[in-house]
Structure 1
């Protein structure tokens, strides 16, 4: 397999959608975190599984819509999801992937050309980056974007509803806010059920099994000031914890915080 000739357009091409430009840049090996990139466009988490597990995983997502809202799904063996973007190639258009074997991360490649199989089904799950645009538009500060780091994410003691081999803890992302800001953040994100919706917890991290807020399981730590509370949203990295628990013989995900940029618009996901 070869990378599409569109990689030749890895410079800043006039007239390209920002989302397509981002995918072409990643396809060419450029770039890192996707936070704050291609503003206005939906980003997605990846779970790529052999077809024999796809039915059970689809059911898992239906049972756990907060952490696993499906926004796109491929045919078996196809690296393309036309509904999510023009010239989109799942194998090459994410900054970094994770290849899992028996529940362990074996490799973090920048493309999947040597790992792709004809039985793989790709699920693209909604990402909290979509509602961050709405939060910032309302004047709410997003700490990890300000500091140019990845959002902090934590495994919790909140159990997901199981389906087949898929069971395990919910992963959450955290953003610190002053109490009045946190109330506004709840109001805003409730409008976006396709990208995790309202928070699942506010304050008191230990109540959901987080021992040290300064030591996230994924992403990067950000400070929570004395006049702020941590606000936690269900996170699309949940399948990574579930895949690890299921010890699947083979699976692929994105590296946390390094997403698939689609051509969908964030504003189109708002229900109000």
Structure 2
């Protein structure tokens, strides 16, 4: 009998999607599929999709759009072959009137013909470039989800959608932080350069040991906390806008596409 393959950084996007589809992967995707672009997911009724599209266009730093589906279509051929948005994310979140009501691993029973899907770039994609440059990432070393925080930085409103920017944080030594700014600035499709370095209180974060999403990691005395805009920002906007129905990914549980990280940006 053949063994189930172990998922790791060398896995393909297709292998990660199949693992999620089969229920073998229900957690975060940080550190998986080194070569492939990962994406955040937002699914809304067509009646709400126009406002959300404008919200993404007005807030490209936290909401860089990779693809938008046709209503009712659970596939996105531009992001991958054999890709099904109803099954290929390890864990989803279901929202009703802005309240989180469920975290299923399969959407087939909830899918509707009027649903429009948005896939937004994810910072997990640039992590591999940082690692390749010799920049250590503590949450990857420890097998944890990245730490994410709600800030007091307001996003630009579009229709019903508004709210605070959410950021992801990685502790880095000063020299590595400078290199990280240079490296990630080349890939605006996955959030680009950091939005803040240093004192978290300046962007409304009171305690780094208590992230709003993901897992806390220690910031050493010789390190700076470095903050990137995060694709969980739309979940804060959904909570504020309170649409009747919405589906998102669970923070850190991303859609892994067939797009290649090395083809992002201008390089």
**What is the CA deviation profile of residues 183-233 of structure 1, one whole-angstrom value per residue up to 9, with x for unaligned ones?**
111011000111000000001000000010110000010000011010000
Deviation string, structure 1 residues 225-259 (Cα, Å, up to 9, x no partner): 01101000000000001100111111000000000
Question: What is the TM-score when the length of structure 2 is the normalising length?
Answer: 0.95
**Counterpart in the other structure of 2:13:** 19
Alignment partner of 1:266 is 2:261: yes
1:49 to 35, 44, 66: 44
1:162 and 2:157 matched: yes
- The count of corresponding residues between Structure 1 and Structure 2 is 261
1:67, 1:238 within 8 Å by CA — same for their partners in 2?
yes
Provide the rounded CA distance (Å) in 2 between the counterparts of 1:10 and 1:200.
43
Asked if 1:234 corresponds to 2:229, the answer is yes
- Return the match for 2:87 from 67, 92, 117: 92
RMSD: 1.4
TM-score with structure 1 length normalisation? 0.94
Secondary structure in structure 2 of the residue aligned to 1:83: coil
**1:270, distance to aligned residue in structure 2 (A):** 2.4
Partner Cα separation in structure 2 for residue 104 and residue 114 of structure 1: 19
Whether 1:196 aligns to 2:183 is no
Q: How does 1:163-178 map to 2 (within 5 A)?
A: 163-178=158-173
CA distance in 2, matches of 1:11, 1:178: 38
Whole-angstrom distance in 2 between the partners of 1:267 and 1:98:
30
| Aligned partner (choices 153, 163, 182) of residue 187 of structure 1 | 182
SS of corresponding position for 2:170: strand
Tell me if structure 1 keeps the 8 A contact 2:43–2:247. yes
- Partners of 2:48 and 2:4 in 1: CA distance: 38
Aligned to 1:54, the other structure's residue is in SS state helix
Structure 1 CA distance, aligned partners of 2:97 and 2:261? 35
Give me the whole-angstrom Cα distance separating, in 2, the residues matched to 1:195 and 1:146: 21
Residue pair 1:153, 1:171 contacting (<8 A) in 2 also: yes
- Show the counterpart of 2:218: 223
Gaps of 5+ in 2: none
- Whether 2:124 is the aligned partner of 1:129: answer yes
What is the alpha-carbon distance in structure 1 between the residues aligned to residue 4 and residue 48 of structure 2?
A: 38
SS of the counterpart of 2:159? coil
Q: Deviations over 1:25-46 (max 9, x none)?
A: 1100012221111111000000
Q: Distance in 2 between matches of 1:265 and 1:224?
A: 31
Structure 1: state its 5+ residue gaps: 1-8
